[in-house]
């Protein structure tokens, strides 16, 4: 699987060919303008994999944050709090 790099001007004239190559090879194509990458074309299967992995990661982070919030609420209900003045000192304010 090779990566293609094309200027936007060339992509315009070769779009059908580039899309066919992406589908066939499973490779991404980076589009450049003035020598700088501005976009990436990739097979839809790869896009789906990347989005799924990102969503899974975010779900894990959300679950961790939710657990921390639940623990903090338990501590608050149990009276395990810090006075504001002490918190300010701890934070250097």
When pLDDT is averaged across residues 53-69 and rounded to a whole number, the result is 83
CB atoms within 10 A of CB 31: 19
pLDDT at position 71 is 87
Entry pTM: 0.58
**pLDDT tier at 13, thresholds 50, 70, 90:** very high
Quick one: 42 exposed, middle or buried, by C-beta within 10 A (0-12, 13-18, 19+)? middle
Average pLDDT, the chain: 89
The domain ranges of the chain are 4-42, 46-91
pLDDT at position 1 is 58
Taking domain 4-42, whether its CATH number is 3.40.1620.10 is answered by yes
Question: Nearest-5° angle of CA 68, CA 64, CA 58?
Answer: 140
**pLDDT tier at 57, thresholds 50, 70, 90:** confident
């Amino acid at each position: 699987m090779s990566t293609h790099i094309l200027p936007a001007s060339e992509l315009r004239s070769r779009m059908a060919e580039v899309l066919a190559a992406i589908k066939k090879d499973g490779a991404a194509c980076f589009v450049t303008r003035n020598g700088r990458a501005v976009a990436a074309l990739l097979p839809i299967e790869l896009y789906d994999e990347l989005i799924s992995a990102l969503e899974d990661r975010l779900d894990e982070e959300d679950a961790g944050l939710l657990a921390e919030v639940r623990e903090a609420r338990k501590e608050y209900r149990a009276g395990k709090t810090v006075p504001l003045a002490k918190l300010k000192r701890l934070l250097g304010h």
